[in-house]
Amino acid sequence: MKWDLLEKTTFWIEGIELKDVNLGQVAATTAAALGMQSDEIMVVDVRPGMIAFDVLTRQVEAAAIAGKQQEILQQLQRIPGVELASNAMVHSEGVLGLIALGEKEASQVLVDSARLAGNIGKAVARRAVVFASGSEVIAGKIEDTNSPYILGALEKAGFKTKFGGILEDDVQMAASYLEAAVEQGYGLIITTGGVGAEDKDFSVEAICRLDPGAATPWILKFTPDYHRHHKEGVRIAVGEVGIARLVALPGPHEEAKLGCQRLIEGIQAGFDKPKLAEYIAAAIRERWQNMMKKGGNKHGYS
């Protein structure tokens, strides 16, 4: 379990004196005592009877810092030139203040935090927001039938849902809306449309901006002609940011319905990111293959 330090990244030790000590060694020793890399902690201030450190990472492992005061002091005392008073202590505000907890207190804090985090995680996982996309929807040229269907299907599956609005055909703007949804505590964030090969389709790219490791399996592939088709084909996306899952589904209604059904089934089955993405894509891909068998490959899809 990781804790976010927010803006409280500094801690200090009182009751310590240094004489001809390498501060890099002091920082590295302290980092090791906290289960961190040597470049994740630096000494930022040294005064008579005090030394201050700054943590250079935003998140820390809970078990690595809680109750680690004695470990830090014992390790520092082994460095030549470091002298500790009998009442030497580690001080901090925020999460890093847990370093000074006793062993029993630290164990209880970890148990309580894990239980609380689990409860929060379960609540977040059941909160879903759905976005439509495209200038055609914004202009009222196309009715948004996908969002009502998906919202209804999710509610039947036990989710608390909200319609997030319509995303413009702009990758940065879309990514900003999705990021805001993550920050608002939605565990499932869905977009419909914008997964095609036109230069106005950015739903997959928006998710990839938030999760560069998103799973993006192809539905169709073809050679771009740079008139209508600017990309290699059509694909969906399943990404993860923290405990939030982001999913880009196609715009055509039957494909959105099929994708939604597979999404819910995959979540209920506990599929991970790659498996869930392929589970959704396979069904939509099969639908296209059956359509092309009946009508021929009129659009040059390969």
Q: Which residues neighbour 162 within 8 Å (Cβ) at sequence distance 6 or greater?
A: 127, 128, 129, 130, 186
Alpha-carbon gap, residue 103 to 301, rounded angstroms: 63
Q: Per-residue confidence of the chain (302 residues) as pLDDT tens digits?
A: 554 545 668 899 999 999 999 999 999 999 999 988 999 999 999 999 999 999 888 777 766 777 888 999 999 999 999 999 999 999 887 667 667 666 676 566 556 555 655 555 677 788 999 999 865 665 455 678 899 999 999 999 999 999 999 888 888 999 999 999 988 889 999 999 877 756 667 899 999 999 999 999 998 877 655 555 556 778 999 999 988 999 999 989 999 999 999 999 999 999 999 999 999 999 999 998 888 777 654 443 33
H or E stretch at 126: none
Q: What domains does the chain contain, in order, with CATH numbers?
A: 2-122 (no CATH), 126-295 (3.40.980.10)
